[in-house]
Amino acid sequence: MVNLKKTELLRDRCLIDGKWVAGSQNNIAVKNPATGEIVGTVPSLEAGDVEQAVVAAEVAFRSWSALAAKERAAVLLRWFYLIIENADDLAALMTAEQGKPLSEARGEMLYAASFIEWFAEEAKRVYGDIIPAPTTDKRILVFKQPIGVCAAITPWNFPAAMITRKAAPALAAGCTMVVKPAEQTPLTALALGVLAEQAGIPAGVFQIVTGKSREIGKVLTESDIVKKLSFTGSTEVGRILMAQSAPTIKKLSMELGGNAPFIVFDDADLDAAVDGAVASKYRNAGQTCVCTNRIYVQSGVYDVFAEKLAAKVSALKVGEGTQVDVTIGPLIDAEAIAKIEDHISDAIGKGAKVVVGGKRHSLGGRFFEPTVLTGATQAMKIAREETFGPVAPLFRFETEEEALAMANDTEFGLAAYFYTENIRRTWRVAEALEYGMVGHNTGQISNEVAPFGGVKQSGLGREGSRYGIDDYLEIKYLCSAIA
């Protein structure tokens, strides 16, 4: 186990223009959600400090974007290797501030690093086009150029991966980035900054600012220098940031809320479906935007599925993320627990039954029992809102049409899952689901080579994959007259 106080990765300052800046106030305490202990403190920067970071990013952009893609790739690869080498220490830091089990935290560090490796490779493949001109006296060329200074605002549920998924394509493309991590989990972000520095990422290219989210959000969105904002978080805050970005017509990437349906048809491999549901629902204690929120089970297998799921969920182990075998850590804060309790009591009031869990865990604090509810209906809050906790509501359906109608009956469109062994149904359902990402016979879909993103009110743009770098590039068209 690392000694968090001794590791050089633990910082109490922000990274601005290559310097570790204390700001005038260092008063944001970062607390361990499992124990309430203070893990560290970070600055509450003034608007002026953030403006300074934006200006530094503008200056750094000139030289960073002028490098050959191969040179940027080499620096990014060094960052990637340093994260891999330090994965255990980074994971310990993440578990301390975020609460997720150590094995999940380590998994996230590898996942976070994979975006840096991937986009270091993609940096070299930003191809343009030569288009046949409509007349013989012209040549038409298409260049791809970096957008410029970018800002990122990231959430607490993936303290590392939500940063690298934005910063890696941005830096690979030649952009510079100012990151504002979530106030609950800034320490992992700052640790990434330490390693970025060690990797030789120049001053001003990757900066981290902490403080009051609204104030920093205003500086970043109102700035003329910032050409693009990439946000991951709630749809509600996404809307605010879009509105604030309107006056400067900023480019936007938005990874917002989800309300993922998980459909189990009569012809599914039920054991596989149960495993998939557990993997998708209970990861990070249910606190991911692609976590299953609603489980629709066809009538013929409903009771058996409920029984098998209940058995698996009863075996999940709740506790501090540092303990061996723990699969469910604490929830991030008291509001998270309050929302889960509200969704469960609303469901019970409308006829649902608790099969497993249903209440706060005997460990107290932020711990909640992994829960399975049967008899869920579309009238319940749990059907409409993202629960963001370890609660699996089971809805019964009769026909494929009915399942699809219920699955699509939401303003969200991030991830959806379905289990069937029927090939014709597979194509029909995959095409009919109004979601940006669909898992067929799997509950795990995220990786660096695939395009992550949502439709409807779940967002704009894609992260990861060969498409992910496009979000940080502008297309320039050159028309050259040669006669």
For residue 360, CA distances in Å to 60, 99, 148, 339 come to 49, 16, 47, 12
CA atoms of 137 and 16, how far apart (whole Å):
50
What separation in angstroms does the CA of 305 have from each of 270, 316, 380, 479?
A: 7, 17, 21, 62
Residues 6+ apart with CB under 8 A from 481: 137, 138
Residues 269-296: b if buried by 16+ CB within 10 A, e if exposed: ebeebbbbbbbbbbbbbbbbbbbbbbbb
Q: Exposed (0-12), middle (13-18) or buried (19+): which is 176, by Cβ within 10 Å?
A: buried
Closest CA to 89 of 190, 174, 217: 190
Q: What's the closest the beta carbon of residue 453 comes to ligand ADP, in angstroms? A: 16
Does residue 267 contact residue 444 with C-beta atoms inside 8 Å? Answer: no
Would you give the distance in Å from CA 464 to the centre of its chain?
A: 11
Please state the closest distance from residue 237 (CB atom) to ligand ADP, in A.
Answer: 3
**Shortest Cβ 23–ligand ADP spacing (Å):** 16
Reading the block at residue 428, the tokens are 């029909």
Residues 333 and 34: their CA atoms lie apart, in Å, by 10
Smallest separation, CB 190 to ligand ADP (Å): 14
Q: Which is nearer to ligand ADP, 88 or 333 (CB)?
A: 333
Shortest Å distance, C-beta 15 to ligand ADP: 16
Provide the residue count of the chain: 483
Binding site for ligand ADP (CB under 6 A): 153-155, 180, 182-183, 213-214, 217, 233-234, 237, 240-241
Which one, 111 or 418, has the nearer CB to ligand ADP?
Answer: 111
User: Could you list the active site residues?
Assistant: 255
Least separation in angstroms between residue 153's CB and ligand ADP is 5
Residue 153 or 433 having the CB closest to ligand ADP:
153
Residue 142 or 243: the one with the smaller Cβ distance to ligand ADP is 243
Task: Enter the DSSP assignment of 318.
Answer: B
State the virtual CA torsion across 158, 58, 215, 333 in degrees, nearest 10: 10
Minimal distance, residue 241 CB to ligand ADP, in Å: 6
Of 331 and 403, nearer to ligand ADP (C-beta) is 331
For residue 291, report the phi and psi dihedrals to the nearest 5 degrees: -60, 140
Nearer to ligand ADP, 45 or 356 (CB): 45
Cα separation, 362 vs 369, whole angstroms? 8
Shortest spacing between CB 300 and ligand ADP, in angstroms: 37
Distance (Å, whole) CA 10 – CA 26: 14
Residue 300 makes CB contacts below 8 A (sequence gap 6+) with: 266
Report the C-alpha gap between 69 and 233 in whole angstroms: 30
Cβ closest to ligand ADP, residue 239 vs residue 317 = 239
Going along 155-250, which residue ranges are E strands?
Answer: 176-180, 206-208, 226-232
Judged by CB, which is closer to ligand ADP: 98, or 114?
Answer: 98
**Chain mean position to CA 204:** 24
- Closest approach of Cβ 325 to ligand ADP, in Å? 27
Q: Measured at CB, which residue is nearest to ligand ADP? A: 217
- Bridge-based pairing of strands 260-264 and 292-298 is parallel
Tokens of 359: 């209440």
Residue type, 436: G
Closer residue to ligand ADP (CB): 155 or 443: 155
